[in-house]
Amino acid sequence: MKNIKFIKVVVLAIIFLFVGAGILPTLGGTVIEKTSSTAIGSNGYIQDLIDNASAGETIYIPGGIYYENIVINKSISLIGEDKDNTIIDGNGNGYVVYIIADWVNISRFTIRNGRFAGIKILNTDYNTITENIISDNNNGIILEVGNFYNKIIDNTITSNNGTDLSLGSSHHNIIKNNTMSSNNGCGISLHLSKSNTIIGNTISNKKYGIYLGGSSNNNISGNTLSKNTYGIYLRFYRIFGGFQPSQKNNILRNNFLGYRQHMFCGGDCSNKWNENYWNRPRSLPKIIIGLFFIDFFGILHRPIVIPGFNIDRHPAEELYDIGG
């Protein structure tokens, strides 16, 4: 009898230990979170968690360095413990994070050392990339081919060789409160992309702060563009049968600081500039000198380049307080 009581005590003690460690499975419900209590830096650790997750789950990753190139092909949330210390390192290969599913959330990571890019989002919608450090890649984030309603918010995207954030044929996305600096490439680049919102970003020390190629109806407001060769560069995009201009963009209440030139090109260049701060207080309209590329409805082999200008009729007299 004493032996039976002793065995029962030992079993109960073991059960309480498991409960305290949080590793007993939940009974009678669906597990919607996957966690790990120890940092593991071996190849395939994060990818294995992704592969074994179900759509809708949240995966928490503890601090550590993970040498992986991961593919996310289901709707999950991937959350790091701390963006400074939870690091996904692509080891100089491919894309560090490759998203090919809708409704993916990635937060609180350092994503670095990708040969092509830190993050690539391909033909997917409603993804959120927030509170990450994306650095030391060839490019920072690439949205390519038919991406709609994605959010890129509160990231530090820096020290990448090429473009920090590139959108190709991607529409209705929100790019907000990101900080981009420290290379001679491009901050934000849009190609054949429409109706995107670019707001509250801080972009400095680039050749191009924001580059638009054949992109129209975008809202560019409340950004600080400083010490770039070109603050905003608007240009046509060569397409079959002619050239697609960048036009009907709303460029409102931005800070332009320490720039050399703002050059805009393409078609009729009918963009709206209003209430921007141009390096110093101004009460008179600001003339924005640039070039027009005229192609006569695509019948010319090369467009004709002529001097031109746009006007900010109500420039700001005070610098805007814009957070990055």
Residue 225 or residue 3, greater confidence: 225
User: Domain range for residue 141?
Assistant: 32-312
By percentage, how much of the chain surpasses pLDDT 90? 63
Instruction: Give 34-43 contacts, CB < 8 A, sequence gap 24+.
Output: 34/58, 34/59, 34/60, 35/59, 35/60, 36/60, 36/61, 36/62, 37/62, 38/62, 39/63, 39/64, 40/64, 40/66, 41/65, 41/66, 41/67, 43/67, 43/68
In a domain, 300, yes or no: yes
In a domain, 318, yes or no: no
**96's tokens:** 């560090």
Q: What is the pLDDT of residues 246-279, one digit of tens each?
A: 889 999 999 999 866 666 665 556 789 999 999 9
pLDDT for 260: 61
Alpha-carbon distance of 251 to 190, in angstroms, equals 14
In a domain, 122, yes or no: yes
- Say yes or no to pLDDT of 70 above 50: yes
194: three-class secondary structure by DSSP: coil
In a domain, 267, yes or no: yes
Q: How many CA atoms lie within 13 A of 43 on its CB side?
A: 3
Q: What is the pTM of this model?
A: 0.83
**270's tokens:** 């009918």
pLDDT for 202: 97
- Say yes or no to pLDDT of 9 above 80: no
In a domain, 152, yes or no: yes
Count of domains observed in the chain = 1
In a domain, 14, yes or no: no
Q: What is the pLDDT of residues 13-50, one digit of tens each?
A: 433 343 343 333 332 333 344 444 344 445 789 999 99
Q: What is the pLDDT of residues 151-174, one digit of tens each?
A: 999 999 999 999 999 999 999 999
Strand pairing of 237-239 and 242-244?
antiparallel
In a domain, 11, yes or no: no
pLDDT for 262: 64
In a domain, 10, yes or no: no
Q: What is the CATH number of the domain that holds 117?
A: 2.160.20.10
